[in-house]
């Protein structure tokens, strides 16, 4: 689960990770008021969307407006907010369609001495989290990682003991940080690593991380992603979820216990199992088609879930044909066949439907389909299924 | 011979009184697995499918001599269940449960690696040695005793591969579902080492997917240590970056973990890569022919 920068900063503040003062604004007036409340000579107005790259992103409706802007007066803060709010911000991470800005964060300014990068992710190969820092702050860290990986310094840390002082010293030495700055860095990094574990984060990223002229390390940006599987033990985080930032069909699928990802093609896929679902997409592409989605109905799918899956699939106006690929293990072919018949009754198929059934209760499943009045193109194998569904579009 | 499990493996089910635990205990019994009991705290004395239920794994081991456990407890309690099995001296722990928090697995993984035990999963179909022992949720009938060692990060895609090798008459020595999570107890390399040493296994099929670097690491290990023919398939060639494809582990992040990178690494290691999921079995045949293995 992703959250907004201003929400992440509240968590940072509570955990003792230094951030600047700021206020959320949902109207230009609120932005102006926030500027006055902060009381400084300048402030920064930042669009709040779940995608990164906001500083370089542009607003569709106001091409000269960036997603992050320095302002020096209350009315200027209001004007920037007006340009952003309700409009569409396009960044390298949003794709060309962009993302609607529904709130801005107005934050006080600070005297920046240097900009750094800091990230914490789970290192799967090491099976523990890794803290990464670099002097190459403020730029695309992916580029640094690809071109000059030696400029990113890494320390794995124990999730129970936390980041150790010597590890901070190693990092500070490499970064060229010393004295009061190093002491500030130690508090900062240790608190952040503790927070990462305590909140079951899968990603914490601060770009830029700054050191002020006063020698304090501060998170100028804040990005947190949480492990969905651990949300059950963080009820307070669930309230931070912003459904307007998510694809409605994906939210709907998740509520039905389905795993769905919308894609750009026109062949809807309904499959059991994540690996088989991905492979089915690959196979469609291999035979010249374009998958409209990833959809895994899971192992224990019942009739209601599968019917809902068909509703979601057919609710996508781009879908011109549907491929059902089931290798029954736990999921039985009969369940899928009955759901197909039921979905046809409730939703009605107005596009060609190719079905490939294999595995548990396959003969019975095929019989149910054959005896129903649902128009089905049945396929014998994976390749046959992919070829047939692509052919329906030619 | 085979790896990890065989006809002598004595299995308990943690979470046996739950719906999934009871259902799959029955499935394993029907397959011929030596299921010897189950564990659900507070339910000692009950029976499920005629098997005795115990309060703790320690009790179950003492009274049944179990050396393997199949875990079906809810995700929030899975780490605890794995650690309990480990503490009781269980040698093979298969955690089927989906949705275990990653931070739990960081801790569990560390404990497992310091022990002699093997953990399969979590979020996996389990492990099967055809004709001898099935621990998990895979449909038994698609398997056939044979010579291909199958290891996979995905469930149903494994069934697909198994079905293909069965239809080609190759059969399987042992099939292991590693699990779809970012941290799982057993890696491809752990299994490559076992399959390479197993006399019954003549060829190895590795089924990977996008995300992480497990396939690249396995490829490097194959190039150095494996003499047997190896074939592979990678799912997720068409998956867009940044989107989690069902499995928590199947996500391309920061430009890493793409199918192209993995396929290139596998091919560089001399592994026969199936271009389509429909020809995983044939890829094994080609790998065997190339090395002159029959």
Domains and CATH numbers, chain B: 1-124 (3.40.50.720), 138-294 (3.40.50.261)
Name the A residues in 154-173 with CB < 8 Å from any B CB.
159-160
Give the chain A residue whose CA is nearest to the CA of B207. Answer: A275
Max Cα-Cα span within chain A: 80
Residues of B in contact with A358 (CB under 8 A): 163
- DSSP classification of residue A176: T
B159 and A329 in contact by Cβ < 8 A? Answer: yes
Give the gap in angstroms from C-alpha B76 to the nearest C-alpha of chain A: 8
pLDDT digits (tens, 9 = 90+) for B149-168: 999 998 889 999 999 999 99
**Nearest-by-Cβ selection for A197 from B103, B137, B255:** B103
Could you give the CA distance from residue A174 to residue A195 in angstroms, rounded to a whole number? 24
Cβ–Cβ contact A382 with B under 8 A: yes
Please, which residues bridge with residue B208 across strands? B234
The pLDDT of residue A268 is above 80: yes
Which of B139, B147, B100, B146 lies closest to B121, judged by CA? B100
Which of A234, A232, A120 lies closest to B78, judged by CA? A232
Which pair of structure tokens corresponds to residue B191?
């299994």
Whether the CB-CB separation of B207 and B151 falls below 8 Å is answered with yes
Residues of A in contact with B276 (CB under 8 A): 282-283, 286, 382-383
Could you give the CA distance from residue A294 to residue B245 in angstroms, rounded to a whole number? 7
Residues in chain A: 394
Give the chain B residue whose CA is nearest to the CA of A274. Answer: B246
**Nearest-by-Cβ selection for A278 from B100, B138, B245:** B245
Q: How far does Cα A339 stand from its chain's mean position?
A: 31
Q: Distances from the Cα of A62 to the Cαs of A49, A65, A82, A115, A204, in angstroms? A: 17, 6, 10, 29, 31
Mean model confidence pLDDT for chain A: 92
Structural element, H or E, at residue A372: none
The pLDDT of residue A146 is above 80: no
pLDDT digits (tens, 9 = 90+) for B117-126: 999 999 999 9
Q: Residue A349's pLDDT is what?
A: 81
- DSSP classification of residue A194: H
Which of A113-117, A221-225, B204-208, B251-255 bottoms out in mean pLDDT, i.e. has the lowest?
B251-255
Pick the CATH number of A112-238 from 3.30.450.40, 3.90.850.10, 3.30.470.20, 1.10.8.50: 3.30.470.20
The dotted CATH code for A21-108 is 3.30.1490.20
Mean model confidence pLDDT for chain B: 94
Supply the DSSP string of A100-143, one letter for each residue. Answer: E---EEEEE---EEEEEEEEEEEETTTTEEEEEEES-TTS-HHH
pLDDT digits (tens, 9 = 90+) for A61-82: 999 999 999 999 999 999 999 9
Give the chain B residue whose CA is nearest to the CA of A230. Answer: B101
pLDDT digits (tens, 9 = 90+) for B17-68: 999 999 999 999 999 999 999 999 999 999 999 999 999 999 999 999 999 9
Size of interface A-B (CB pairs under 8 A): 172
Which positions ≥6 away from B95 have C-beta within 8 Å?
B71, B78, B81, B82, B119, B120, B121, B122, B123, B124, B179, B185
Q: Residue A100's pLDDT is what?
A: 94
- DSSP classification of residue A15: T
Is the peptide bond preceding residue B270 cis, with omega within 30 degrees of 0?
A: no
For chain A, give percent helix, strand, coil, nearest 5.
Answer: 40, 25, 35
Pairing of strands A58-59, A88-90: antiparallel
The pLDDT of residue A139 is above 70: no
The terminus-to-terminus CA distance of chain A in angstroms comes to 39
Residues of A in contact with B76 (CB under 8 A): 232-233
Q: Distances from the Cα of A336 to the Cαs of A66, A200, A339, A350, B253, in angstroms? A: 49, 36, 5, 19, 33
> Residues A170, A173, A179, A185: what is their CA dihedral angle, to the nearest 10 degrees?
-60
Task: Kindly report the three-state secondary structure assignment for every residue of B61-106.
Answer: HHHHCCCEEEECCCHHHHHHHHHHHHHCCCCEEEECCCCCCHHHHH
The pLDDT of residue A223 is above 80: yes
Which of B260, B241, B95, B106 lies closest to B178, judged by CA? B95
Q: Residue B256's pLDDT is what?
A: 78
Q: How far does Cα B48 stand from its chain's mean position?
A: 25
Which of A86-90, A259-263, B242-246 bottoms out in mean pLDDT, i.e. has the lowest?
B242-246
Q: Residue B254's pLDDT is what?
A: 67
Supply the DSSP string of B183-208, one letter for each residue. Answer: S-S--HHHHHHHHHH-TT--EEEEEE
Which positions ≥6 away from A389 have C-beta within 8 Å?
A267, A284, A289, A321, A322, A323, A352, A354, A377
B239 and A93 in contact by Cβ < 8 A? Answer: no
Locate the domains of chain A by residue range: 21-108, 112-238, 248-391
Burial readout A186-220 (b: 16 or more C-beta within 10 A, e: otherwise)? bebbbbbbbbbbebbbbbbbbbbbbbbeeebbbbb
pLDDT digits (tens, 9 = 90+) for B180-232: 999 999 999 999 999 999 999 999 999 999 998 999 999 999 999 999 999 99
pLDDT bucket at A381, cuts 50 / 70 / 90: confident
Pick the CATH number of A248-391 from 3.40.50.261, 1.10.10.10, 3.40.50.10330, 3.40.190.10: 3.40.50.261
Supply the DSSP string of A213-230, one letter for each residue. Answer: TTS-EEESS-EEEE-GGG
Give the gap in angstroms from C-alpha A39 to the nearest C-alpha of chain B: 39
Pairing of strands B272-273, B230-235: parallel
The pLDDT of residue A145 is above 90: no
pLDDT bucket at A344, cuts 50 / 70 / 90: confident
In degrees, rounded to 5, the angle at the alpha carbon of residue B218 between the alpha carbons of residues B216 and B219 is: 65
Which pair of structure tokens corresponds to residue B134?
């099935």
The pLDDT of residue B260 is above 70: yes
Which positions ≥6 away from B145 have C-beta within 8 Å?
B130, B131, B132, B171, B172, B173
Catalytic (active site) residue A166:
no
Mean pLDDT computed over A337-353: 86
**Nearest-by-Cβ selection for B237 from A197, A282, A296:** A282
The pLDDT of residue A138 is above 70: no
Could you give the CA distance from residue A188 to residue A158 in angstroms, rounded to a whole number? 17
Could you give the CA distance from residue A81 to residue A101 in angstroms, rounded to a whole number? 10
Name the A residues in 215-234 with CB < 8 Å from any B CB.
227-230, 232-233
Residues of A in contact with B255 (CB under 8 A): 142, 145-146
B157 and A276 in contact by Cβ < 8 A? Answer: yes
Could you give the CA distance from residue B192 to residue A391 in angstroms, rounded to a whole number? 40
Catalytic (active site) residue A304:
no
B157 and A279 in contact by Cβ < 8 A? Answer: yes
**Nearest-by-Cβ selection for A278 from B20, B183, B236:** B236
Mean pLDDT computed over A332-353: 86
Q: What are the backbone angles phi and psi of residue B75, rounded to the nearest 5°? A: -55, -40
Q: Residue B37's pLDDT is what?
A: 97
Whether the CB-CB separation of A231 and A237 falls below 8 Å is answered with yes
């Amino acid at each position: 689960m992703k959250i907004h920068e201003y929400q992440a900063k509240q968590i940072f503040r509570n955990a003792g990770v230094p951030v600047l003062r700021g206020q959320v604004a949902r109207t230009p007036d609120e932005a102006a008021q926030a500027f006055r409340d902060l009381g400084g000579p300048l402030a920064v107005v930042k669009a709040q969307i779940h995608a990164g790259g906001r500083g370089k992103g542009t607003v569709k409706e106001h091409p000269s407006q960036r997603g992050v802007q320095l302002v020096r007066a209350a009315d200027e803060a209001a004007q920037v907010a007006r340009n952003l709010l309700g409009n569409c911000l396009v960044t390298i991470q949003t794709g060309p369609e962009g993302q609607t800005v529904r709130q801005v964060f107005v934050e006080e300014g600070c005297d920046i001495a240097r900009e750094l990068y800091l990230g914490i992710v789970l290192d799967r190969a090491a099976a523990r989290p890794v803290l990464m820092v670099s002097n190459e702050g403020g730029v695309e860290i992916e580029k640094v990682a690809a071109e000059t990986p030696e400029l990113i310094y890494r320390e794995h840390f124990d999730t129970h003991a936390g980041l150790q002082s010597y590890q901070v010293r190693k990092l500070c030495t490499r970064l060229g940080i010393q004295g009061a700055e190093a002491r500030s860095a130690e508090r900062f990094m240790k608190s952040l690593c503790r927070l990462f574990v305590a909140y079951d984060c899968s990603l914490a990223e601060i770009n830029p991380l700054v050191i002020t002229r006063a020698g304090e390390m501060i998170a100028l940006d804040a990005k947190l992603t949480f492990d969905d599987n651990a949300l059950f033990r963080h009820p307070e985080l669930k309230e931070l979820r912003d459904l307007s930032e998510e694809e409605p069909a994906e939210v709907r699928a998740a509520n039905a216990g389905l795993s769905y990802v919308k894609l750009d093609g026109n062949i809807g896929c309904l499959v059991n199992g994540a690996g088989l679902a991905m492979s089915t997409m690959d196979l469609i592409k291999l035979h010249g088609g374009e998958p409209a989605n990833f959809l895994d109905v899971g192992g224990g799918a019942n009739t209601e879930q599968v019917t809902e899956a068909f509703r979601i699939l057919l609710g996508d106006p781009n879908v011109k044909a549907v491929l059902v690929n089931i290798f029954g293990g736990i999921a039985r072919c009969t369940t899928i066949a009955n759901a197909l018949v039921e979905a046809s009754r409730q939703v009605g198929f107005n596009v060609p439907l190719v079905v490939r059934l294999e595995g548990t209760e396959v003969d019975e499943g095929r019989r149910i389909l054959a005896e129903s009045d649902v128009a089905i193109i049945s396929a014998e194998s994976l390749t046959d299924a992919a070829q047939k569904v692509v052919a329906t579009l030619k | 011979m085979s790896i990890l499990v065989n006809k002598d493996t004595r299995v308990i089910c943690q979470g046996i009184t739950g719906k999934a635990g009871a259902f799959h205990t029955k499935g394993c019994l029907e397959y011929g697995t030596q299921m010897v009991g189950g564990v659900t705290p507070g339910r000692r004395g009950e029976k499920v499918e005629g098997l005795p239920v115990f309060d703790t794994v320690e009790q179950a081991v003492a009274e049944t001599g179990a050396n393997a456990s199949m875990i079906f407890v809810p995700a929030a309690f899975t780490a605890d269940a794995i650690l309990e099995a480990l503490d009781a001296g269980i040698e093979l722990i298969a955690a089927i449960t989906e949705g275990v928090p990653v931070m739990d697995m960081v801790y569990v993984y560390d404990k497992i690696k310091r022990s002699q035990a093997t953990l399969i999963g979590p979020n996996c179909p389990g492990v099967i040695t055809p004709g001898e022992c099935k621990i998990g949720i895979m449909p038994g009938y698609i398997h056939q005793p044979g010579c291909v060692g199958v290891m996979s990060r995905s469930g149903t895609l494994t069934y697909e591969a198994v079905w293909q090798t069965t239809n080609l008459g190759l059969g399987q020595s042992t099939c292991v579902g590693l699990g779809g999570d970012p941290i799982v107890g057993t890696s491809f390399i752990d299994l490559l080492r076992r399959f390479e040493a197993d006399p019954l296994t003549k060829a190895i099929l590795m089924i990977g997917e996008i995300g992480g670097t497990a396939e690249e690491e396995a490829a490097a290990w194959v190039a150095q240590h494996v003499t047997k023919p190896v074939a592979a398939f990678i799912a997720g060639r068409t998956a867009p970056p940044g989107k989690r494809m069902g499995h928590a582990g199947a996500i391309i992040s920061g430009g890493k973990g793409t199918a192209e990178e993995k396929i290139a690494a596998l091919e560089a290691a001399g592994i026969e890569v199936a271009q389509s999921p429909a020809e995983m079995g044939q890829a094994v045949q080609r790998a065997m022919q190339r090395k002159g293995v029959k």
